[in-house]
A and B are shown apart, each in its own frame.
Chain A
């Protein structure tokens, strides 16, 4: 339907107006909330098959390509943007509200631009815009840590974009077309593009930007960050690399390794960062399987992840907003003064744990079923283990340490109404999809012939949950034992972390040592090269010095002599 505007345009226009409203906060609030609503209404009007094309450099660029996959992510991002915007409405001048709001809206618009992009150039532009706009959500926290983490974040994502562009150019050269469709791993182009996507999707070894940057964002900024960047990457993988076997194993590794780190991590927002990689692992694995059921599972899990991970990040953001703390060891007992937040956080935790009647259950079970259906019998138990890990580090640890555990003595209040409202919307969505999965199944890219609530599924999941919770309880009981000594009681969390760390050390010590050796070699080499480069190119280096006229003329004669000599040889 041509009467619809390109979805990103509404956000970009909206962002232009935001700075003008900085003196009228109430109008700004209204405007900000209107942007995703108008955007969503506009997106409703976009019919399947709609394309908007533009000519550049002799190539046809497809600014908007609406197929089922794009439209589904379009709906998701409008919903995600709406929740995150409501969550950030309370920002004031002191929080650099104008910068945060403007960049957040541009960021959401870029994410929409990316998922509707039909060609590599549009995708690349959106890809880089995502990076450039989102970094402000980290920088505005203003702490030196945040500034440098933001810097590293930006660098990684720019490089990811450049890799993508390089792959796109090779692809364009080979095929003569810039269209972004299924790629596969044939040739240089496939690998380069996958590498570009992989960085954004936080593939293992490429993931450290996420753990580094997300916890440094502003309380509201991290909610935006968690909704868009990695989900755009998941979308891109689903479009380009569905059915690429390698992704199954990449996904399995992603789902497993963060669990160990998440368990020992003290900063709860960082724990959520690890949990995010773990969840993306499930999606990547599903994309790798590539059957209709698996793809449906992967993208619906992306949809749900935005909701429940957003809800968890929002609840931690609310805690941070009210107390200024996010460390498990500093928090505890907040349920007394923040009962609503605690309840909402628990709903998020139940969702991420894939408890039946919550949303992750209806999407994750699709991926698991697809694994069995396609006979990946070795991967299935690995993912099952990963699911149990989720219950432990996200389902129990987050709400437990923030709101229960030992009483930290902090007495605070519930967060501002808008934060509660945003969390409420998220929680309602989590439960609604869990109870009525048809809501989600209706917009998936492939026709759904899947019933999540069969006896087998529910039983498996309940067994898993019971087992996981039982294990945690046992561990906890065993480790809380020294709690009878008051001094240790205060540090229960520390003991817990040390014991878990020992387990990790047993399993991962050797890997860690090899990793450290490898890293120090690489860093040493890089340093050596840099030193050499500086010696030649630094301000006093041979190449940057001011040369006397005599030696300049000498160069001229050398070149001339060389030239003539070449001709006469």
Chain B
């Protein structure tokens, strides 16, 4: 059981496997439960215990370093290893926290947006998706990554197709095609690496790869993995599946996917290219930074511009997400500890702000059924709490001080200034795009607060069961924006781990 041969009865030693198994087991139970509410509460229970486990794991890692768990007591590199260091402990906490907030939120939202007979299936798919994402993050085995990737992706397609508009089906189909292409590329890359080294264990691979750095096979594998992962994380111009998928999925699904799925893909990118291939190989040999920098810059500028012109607010935020992913990749392309700290911070911070924003939109959908910008006219008066949440989330997106967005931007600009020279222009660009974010957020605020509602049917505020989780995230946006010591500290430690072996 537990790898290091510790007392088998101790739950703490089993935490890594429980992290994945709890939602994985809860999923089929949800499917067989015929009762929607029962499935919902089971999912809530599962997601909360997942968060507790993730926090406990982070605590263990912070206290005692890397946690290694050998499945079935098979010793790695032969057996599958779950390996938690500060980097993935951090990502686990992000995914688990969003899961723990979105699940209770989905109870009312799903009942409103999805046919009741499908609700248990929804929770089954949702928990599968959650366990898939957690699995990708926690595992130390390359092939295992692929397996969990498929679990999370397949369940995600199903979740998106549950959206009310008919176009949700085509959006899910498109995502399926693109997701499968991405997954295939990833498995091809993994296969090539296996051929060259005979190992699938990440830590083992990291030791073996420097010996075969010069081979073309390894470089081809690098290319396939790179494109596959960038497809999953929706890096411009491989983002084309994302806007429709986010826009047409049910509200809680959008909130969940936007704040977790792409984050886990960014984690994969960091893990594969910085710890397995090694930061030195990626930056010095493969020039990863120079490949990613232009794409990130175009993503940030052009997708923010697209967002400005959108009329469907959900789609607007989806394009904004592509731009925000650009910021994360931008931090990576600085190839410095500060840049990477910005990336890792923005993983967490973006999850908080986009989660809050999409959940606020979910409240709007719940009451008025549309998130078209014209339908939101005068909503500030009719749904004050919902729109206040949206405003705070929006400010955070813009990067106003006292919100988490500011912290991310701060580190990003600091990273750029640190490099000096022409990178100052990048810092300026970050500020300019913040103003662009202000413009698209403002369009919604203007509609909600400055335009008068033309209709006459009364609209109430969203129910507490939707508002409470939304405001939990809003409060987190503010709290971690004011007290960033802890988050920035963890992100910096993680960045140092990832950049090990290369000077800052």
A interface, CB within 8 angstroms of B: 55-57, 121, 124-125, 128, 139, 147, 151, 158-159, 162, 165-166, 169-170, 173, 188, 533-534, 536-539, 541, 543-544, 546-547, 549, 551-553, 555-556, 559-560, 563-564, 566-568
Cross-chain contact A555 with B413 (CB below 8 angstroms)? no
B401 pairs with A128, CB closer than 8 A: yes
**In the bound complex, do residue B226 and residue A563 qualify as a contact, i.e. CB atoms below 8 Å apart?**
yes
Decide if B327 is an interface residue (CB 8 Å cutoff).
no
> Across the interface, which residues of B come within 8 angstroms of A139, CB to CB?
450
Residues of A within 8 A of B303 (CB): 543
Distance, CA A158 to CA B400, complexed state (A): 10
For A559, the chain B residues whose CB sits under 8 A away are: 227, 230, 237-238
**Does any Cβ of A come within 8 Å of B220's Cβ?**
yes
Q: How far is the CB of B398 from chain A (nearest CB, A)?
A: 9
- 20 example contacts (A-B, Cβ-Cβ < 8 A) are as follows A57-B488, A128-B401, A162-B435, A166-B427, A166-B428, A169-B417, A169-B427, A537-B305, A537-B306, A544-B306, A546-B244, A551-B240, A552-B241, A556-B181, A556-B185, A559-B237, A563-B227, A566-B291, A568-B216, A568-B219
CB distance from A64 to the nearest CB of B (A): 17
Chain B residues within CB distance 8 Å of chain A: 173-174, 177-178, 181-182, 185, 216, 219-220, 222-224, 226-227, 230-231, 237-238, 240-241, 243-244, 286-287, 291, 302-303, 305-306, 308-311, 319, 400-402, 407, 410, 413-414, 417-418, 424, 427-428, 431, 434-435, 438, 446, 450, 484-485, 488
Residues of A contacting B438 in the complex (Cβ-Cβ under 8 angstroms): 158
Pick from A121, A162, A539, A553: contact of B177, CB under 8 Å: A553
C-alpha gap A559/B224 in the complex (Å): 10
Q: Contact at A552–B240, with CB atoms within 8 Å?
A: yes
Nearest chain B residue, comparing its CB with the CB of A538 = B309
| Closest beta carbon of chain B to A218's beta carbon, Å | 16
Q: Are A170 and B417 in contact (CB under 8 A)?
A: yes
- Neighbouring B residues of A536 by C-beta, 8 Å: 302, 305
* A57 near B484: Cβ-Cβ < 8 Å: yes
The 6 residue pairs across chains A and B that have the minimum distance between CB atoms: A537-B305, A173-B417, A563-B223, A549-B177, A544-B306, A537-B306
Q: Is the Cβ of B414 less than 8 Å from the Cβ of A169? A: yes
A69 to B450, CA, bound (A): 39
Q: How far is the CA of A415 from the CA of B303 in the complex (A)?
A: 54
Contacts of B431 in A (CB 8 A): 162, 165-166
Q: How far is the CA of A566 from the CA of B288 in the complex (A)?
A: 11
Q: How far is the CA of A555 from the CA of B241 in the complex (A)?
A: 12
Q: Is the interface of B mostly helix, strand, loop or mixed?
A: helix
Given known A-B contacts A125-B401, A125-B402, A173-B414, A560 and B224 have beta carbons under 8 A apart: yes
**Shortest CB distance A163–B (Å):** 9
Cα distance, A139 to B445, chains bound together (Å): 14
Contact of B240 with A544 in the complex, beta carbons under 8 Å: no
Give Cα A121 to B406, complex, Å. Answer: 11
Q: Is the CB of A552 within 8 A of B174?
A: yes
Candidates B216, B319, B410, B435; contact of A544 at CB < 8 Å: B319
Checking B173, B287, B435 against A159 with a beta-carbon cut-off of 8 angstroms, the contacting residue is B435
Complex CA–CA separation, A541 to B308 (angstroms): 12
A314 to B138, CA, bound (A): 66
Partner pick for A564 among B223, B308, B407, CB 8 A cutoff: B223
Contact A553 B401 (CB under 8 A): no
**In the complex, what distance in Å separates the CA atom of A346 from the CA atom of B428?**
50
For residue A566, which residue of chain B has the nearest CB?
B291
Contacts of B319 in A (CB 8 A): 544
Listed residue (A536, A537, A555) with the most chain B CB atoms within 10 angstroms of its CB = A537
Shortest CB distance A275–B (Å): 31
- Interchain CB contact under 8 A, A124 and B401: yes
A124 vs B402: C-alpha distance in the bound complex, in angstroms? 11
- Nearest CB on B from A515, distance (A): 26
Please determine whether A564 and B220 come into contact, CB atoms closer than 8 angstroms.
yes
Nearest CB in chain B to that of A565: its residue: B223
Minimum CB–CB distance for B425 against chain A, Å:
12
B residues less than 8 Å from A57 (CB atoms): 407, 410, 484-485, 488
Other-chain residue from A173, A547, A552, A564 in contact with B418 (beta carbon distance below 8 A): A173
Assembled-state Cα–Cα distance A124/B399 (Å): 13
Query: Roughly how many angstroms separate A166 CA and B434 CA in the complex, as a whole number?
Result: 12
**In the complex, what residues of A have CB within 8 A of residue B402's CB?**
125
**Is the CB–CB distance between A567 and B309 below 8 Å?**
no
- What B residues does A162 contact at CB under 8 A? 431, 434-435
Distance in angstroms from B357 CB to nearest chain A CB is 19
Asked whether A549 and B306 contact (CB < 8 A) given A166-B428, A169-B427, A555-B240, the answer is: no
Known: A560-B223, A568-B216. A541 touches B484 (CB 8 A): no
Pairwise interchain contact A567-B407, C-beta atoms closer than 8 A: no
Q: How far is the CA of A297 from the CA of B462 in the complex (A)?
A: 57
The reply to whether B219 and A567 form a contact with Cβ atoms under 8 Å apart is yes
B308-A537 in contact (CB<8A)? yes
A549 touches B226 (CB 8 A): no
Closest Cβ–Cβ distance, residue B216 to chain A (whole Å): 7
Q: Is the CB of A563 within 8 A of B309?
A: no
Complex Cα–Cα for A487 and B228 (A): 83
Give Cα distance in the complex from A12 to B185, angstroms.
Answer: 56
Is the CB–CB distance between A543 and B302 below 8 Å?
A: yes
List A contacts of B413 (CB < 8 A): 169
| B91 → chain A closest CB, angstroms | 22
Tell me how far the C-beta of B459 lies from the nearest C-beta in chain A, rounded to whole angstroms: 22
Once the chains bind, are B417 and A552 in contact (CB under 8 Å)? no
Inter-subunit contact A556/B434 (CB<8 Å):
no
Interchain CA distance A121-B482 in the complex, whole Å: 12
Residues of B near A552 (CB, < 8 A) are 174, 177-178, 238, 240-241
Q: Output the least CB separation between A549 and chain B (Å).
A: 4
State how many angstroms separate the Cβ of A558 from the closest Cβ of chain B. Answer: 9
Q: Give Cα distance in the complex from A128 to B438, angstroms.
A: 13
Q: Please name all residues of chain A whose beta carbon is closer than 8 Å to the beta carbon of B177 when the two chains form the complex.
A: 549, 552-553
Residues in chain B near residue A159, CB distance under 8 A: 435
Distance in Å: Cβ of B72 to nearest Cβ of chain A: 37
